[in-house]
């Protein structure tokens, strides 16, 4: 061994007296300075620095040659790390261009540079790398005395050399990059208390309730505590065992924590407690032919997202009601299921809900009212459907009132019969019985939507209405509404008491020539009117917020245009002792709609492929 300041032995194979044969590391690290000359006047010597500690991102990027140059530390700290005392430092230390593992170190220098006491200056310069020229062993030997000199100068005492050799020889280095020793040394954080548990290869579900004797799942990456049950791999909320043991978890709980319809469950799906609702009405005029596409009807362009609940009411529906429901299911896709479907003659109503929300609905009840029978077919009347969603009760009514320009009194009578004759609710309890009235069904529910073909016309005659429709490029809709019979009767309070209607910004939905955009051109010359409407009423002011209210001019298979409304409805938590539907839906219709959706997509792709393959290119 060489003491600090003594010249090192020349490298083997180099002429001892040849000029320039001095080791580059020795030339750089010799601290000799001519007398009388200021040390800063000369070029600053390049002092090799101890190698940096291994980093996680470098372990997998080193080549085979780099692995062979890596050296083991031979101090007692290496043995402690091997026993698991300090898992983060590992058993392999990256030395850069250090000596091979099988070479011997100088007798007075340790094989590990980390055993040398470090000062603040040394700690601040750990990111350096040793000199790349000369013998790697010479570089280690030259850097170690300099490091000792600097530590002695800072500490003000003589340097202390560490132990010469380890008690036992270091283990052989495995060249396999996937070995357990390398994985342990480079991929484990020393701050983690459960290092041994994480090193085990057993994987369990992140949401499992782990006991203290079972290993923690590596999938749960939010913290290191067994109390955590969150995971970035699932959106399902964890269920605690004590909630399952509670007798009030599924029945009888009064807004308690963990209730199926309580506040906690409601906050999971609707943090703002508002549900998106789609309500539509369409008089199909009994046409057997359905539109080729219902996307414009159910998925309007102004809505960026699909709604949570779809309610579609039809008057004078097509003869094949099942085909109509299948088309609705096909358009909405597999994310929605048919919660309920009811019919009264040619009055149809379909309720589609997101499949995730069917568990929070009560049993669906329906009731009908007949106001007029023509040819043994119930064409005029009303159909009501009600259910409770969480703690909010809903009532949907679709009606077809008496037609005729001057039959306003008959239409008022149809309304009165409907509110008195609809027997709802039956088994589902009223959420607020103190504000209900036996004479009006609309007072027995929190949120009420009444839609249909009310047949209220624009008074003044065809000529006056055509004049307003043809004034310019933009139709003066407010001027048309001044002649509307329904608005006039609502202001009087003779119909739809407590109901509201969103602002109308679309053209009259009746009466068109089938397949055209022109109004009635027959000899009857019926006046264009807003016969198809959507109205709403709420027990609590501000619970229903209209978002959009429009018609579908692209659907021309009937003399009526479909009219729809988008709403945001406030939902409140409720008691879970109501009769639940328990996830009931029309499974057969669901499968039929999905199969048809898939088959049409396959046909579209095949047609596109055949069109591309049949293209003929001519070269002139």
Nearest to 428 by CA among 395, 406, 460, 399: 395
Q: Does 581 or 234 have the greater pLDDT score?
A: 581
The token pair at 596 is 């048809």
Kindly tell me if the per-residue pLDDT of 116 is higher than 50: no
Query: How far is CA 526 from each of CA 489, 512, 529, 617, rounded to the nearest angstrom?
Result: 21, 9, 9, 54
* Three-state DSSP class for residue 373: strand
Kindly tell me if the per-residue pLDDT of 146 is higher than 70: no
25-29, 64-68, 383-387: least confident range? 25-29
Kindly tell me if the per-residue pLDDT of 188 is higher than 60: no
What percent of the chain has pLDDT above 90?
Answer: 49
Tell me what the mean pLDDT of segment 86-107 comes to: 43
Q: What are phi and psi of 66, to 5 degrees?
A: -65, -35
Separation of alpha carbons 330 and 65, rounded Å? 62
Kindly tell me if the per-residue pLDDT of 615 is higher than 60: no
Tell me what the mean pLDDT of segment 266-288 comes to: 95
Tell me what the mean pLDDT of segment 107-127 comes to: 43
Nearest to 116 by CA among 145, 92, 89, 93: 145
At residue 21 the predicted structure's pLDDT band, cuts being 50, 70 and 90, is very low
113-127, 299-313, 319-333: least confident range? 113-127
Residue 143 has a pLDDT of 44
Kindly tell me if the per-residue pLDDT of 156 is higher than 70: no
At residue 361 the predicted structure's pLDDT band, cuts being 50, 70 and 90, is very high
Q: Give per-residue pLDDT as tens, 513-523.
A: 999 999 999 99
Separation of alpha carbons 312 and 555, rounded Å? 15
Q: Please, what is the Cα angle at 453 between 546 and 328, to 5 degrees? A: 70
Residue 42 has a pLDDT of 57
Q: Does 488 or 240 have the greater pLDDT score?
A: 488
At residue 229 the predicted structure's pLDDT band, cuts being 50, 70 and 90, is very low
At residue 202 the predicted structure's pLDDT band, cuts being 50, 70 and 90, is very low
Q: What is the gyration radius of the CA atoms in the chain, in angstroms?
A: 42
Tell me what the mean pLDDT of segment 97-124 comes to: 43
The token pair at 93 is 């230390």
Three-class HEC string of 113-157: HHHCCCCHHHHHCCCCCCCCCCCHHHHHHHHHHHHHHHHHHHHCC
Tell me what the mean pLDDT of segment 278-288 comes to: 95
Tell me what the mean pLDDT of segment 194-204 comes to: 46
At residue 473 the predicted structure's pLDDT band, cuts being 50, 70 and 90, is confident
- What is the distance, to the nearest Å, from the Cα of residue 574 to the centroid of all Cα atoms in its chain? 26
Kindly tell me if the per-residue pLDDT of 88 is higher than 60: no
The fold of 263-597 is: Deoxyribonuclease I; Chain A (3.60.10)
At residue 577 the predicted structure's pLDDT band, cuts being 50, 70 and 90, is confident
Kindly tell me if the per-residue pLDDT of 206 is higher than 80: no
Non-local (6+) Cβ contacts of 267 within 8 A are 273
Q: Which of 1-15, 47-61, 115-129, 293-307 has the highest mean pLDDT?
A: 293-307
At residue 27 the predicted structure's pLDDT band, cuts being 50, 70 and 90, is very low
At residue 471 the predicted structure's pLDDT band, cuts being 50, 70 and 90, is confident
Q: Does 585 or 34 have the greater pLDDT score?
A: 585
**If you average pLDDT over every residue of the chain, what do you get?**
75
Q: Give per-residue pLDDT as tens, 246-270.
A: 655 444 444 455 678 888 889 999 9
Residue 147 has a pLDDT of 45
Residue 148 has a pLDDT of 44
Residue 1 has a pLDDT of 46
Nearest to 446 by CA among 310, 570, 351, 363: 570
Residue 130 has a pLDDT of 42
Kindly tell me if the per-residue pLDDT of 306 is higher than 60: yes
């Amino acid at each position: 061994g060489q003491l600090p300041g003594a010249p090192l032995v020349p490298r083997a194979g180099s002429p001892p007296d040849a000029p320039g044969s001095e080791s580059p590391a020795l030339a750089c690290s010799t601290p000799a300075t001519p007398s009388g000359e200021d040390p800063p006047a000369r070029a600053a010597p390049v002092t090799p620095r101890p190698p940096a500690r291994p980093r996680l991102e470098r372990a997998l990027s080193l080549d085979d040659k780099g692995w062979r140059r890596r050296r083991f530390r031979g101090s007692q700290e290496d043995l402690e790390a091997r026993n698991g005392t300090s898992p983060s430092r590992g058993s392999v230390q990256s030395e850069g261009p250090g000596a091979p593992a099988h070479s011997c170190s100088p007798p007075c220098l340790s094989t590990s540079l980390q055993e040398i006491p470090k000062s603040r200056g040394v700690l601040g310069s750990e990111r350096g790398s040793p000199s790349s020229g000369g013998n790697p062993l010479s570089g280690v030997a030259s850097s170690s005395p300099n490091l000792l000199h600097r530590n002695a100068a800072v500490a003000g005492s003589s340097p202390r050399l560490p132990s010469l050799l380890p008690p036992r020889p270091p283990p052989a280095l495995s060249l396999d990059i996937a070995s357990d020793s390398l994985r342990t040394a480079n991929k484990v954080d020393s701050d983690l208390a459960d290092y041994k548990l994480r090193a085990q290869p057993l994987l369990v579900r992140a949401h499992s309730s782990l006991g203290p004797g079972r290993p923690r799942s590596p999938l749960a990456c939010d913290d290191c505590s067994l109390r955590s049950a969150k995971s970035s791999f699932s959106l399902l909320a964890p269920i605690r065992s004590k909630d399952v043991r509670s007798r009030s978890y599924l029945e009888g709980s009064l807004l308690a924590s963990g209730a199926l319809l309580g506040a906690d469950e409601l906050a999971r799906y609707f943090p703002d407690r508002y549900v998106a609702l789609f309500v539509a009405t369409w008089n199909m005029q009994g046409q057997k032919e359905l539109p080729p596409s219902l996307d414009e009807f159910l998925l309007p362009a102004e809505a960026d997202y699909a709604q949570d609940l779809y309610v579609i009411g039809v008057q004078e529906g097509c003869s094949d009601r099942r085909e109509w429901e299948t088309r609705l299911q096909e358009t909405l896709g597999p994310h929605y299921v048919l919660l309920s479907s009811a019919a009264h003659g040619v009055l149809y109503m379909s309720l589609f809900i997101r499949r995730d929300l069917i568990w929070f609905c009560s049993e669906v009840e329906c009731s009908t009212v007949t106001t007029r029978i023509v040819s043994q077919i119930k064409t005029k009347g009303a159909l009501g459907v009600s259910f409770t969603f969480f703690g909010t009760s809903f009532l949907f009514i679709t009606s077809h009132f008496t037609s005729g320009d001057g039959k306003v009194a008959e239409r008022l009578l149809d309304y009165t019969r409907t509110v008195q004759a609809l027997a709802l609710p039956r088994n589902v309890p009223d959420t607020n019985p103190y504000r209900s009235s036996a004479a009006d069904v609309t007072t027995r529910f929190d949120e009420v939507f009444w839609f249909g073909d009310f047949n209220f016309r624009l008074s003044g005659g065809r000529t006056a209405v055509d004049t307003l429709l043809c004034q310019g490029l933009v139709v003066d809709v407010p001027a048309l509404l001044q002649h509307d019979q329904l608005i006039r009767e609502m202001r009087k309070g003779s119909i739809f008491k407590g109901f509201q209607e969103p602002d109308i910004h679309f053209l009259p939905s009746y009466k068109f020539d089938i397949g055209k955009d022109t109004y009635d051109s027959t000899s009857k010359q019926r006046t264009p009117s807003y016969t198809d409407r959507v109205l709403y009423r709420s027990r609590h002011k501000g619970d229903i917020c209209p978002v959009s209210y429009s018609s579908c001019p692209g659907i021309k298979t009937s003399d009526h245009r479909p009219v729809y409304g988008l709403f945001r409805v406030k939902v409140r938590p409720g008691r879970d002792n109501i009769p639940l539907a328990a996830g009931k839906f029309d499974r057969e219709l669901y499968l039929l709609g999905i199969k048809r959706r898939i088959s049409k997509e396959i046909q579209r792709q095949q047609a596109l492929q055949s069109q591309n393959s049949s293209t003929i290119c001519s070269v002139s």
